[in-house]
Amino acid sequence: MDDLFDIAQRAESVLRKATARLAERQGTNLQTQRKELRDVVTEADLESERFLIAELSQITPGATIFAEESGLTDNDSATRWVIDPLDGTVNFASGLPWFSGTIAYQRDGETLVG
- CATH number, domain containing residue 24: 3.30.540.10
Give the distance, in angstroms, between the CA of residue 69 and the centroid of all CA atoms in the same chain: 9
pTM for this entry: 0.88
Query: In the predicted model, is pLDDT for residue 24 greater than 80?
Result: yes
More confident residue, 108 or 2: 108
Domain range for 20: 4-113
Give 19's pLDDT tier (boundaries 50, 70, 90): very high
Could you report the per-residue pLDDT of 26-80, keeping only the tens digit for each?
877 766 666 665 667 888 999 999 999 999 999 999 999 999 988 888 778 899 9
pLDDT at position 46: 92
H-assigned helices in 26-112: 43-59, 89-93
Distance (Å) of CA 107 to CA 4, 44, 63: 11, 29, 9
Q: In the chain, how many domains are there?
A: 1
Q: Rounded distance, CA 51 to CA 7, Å?
A: 17
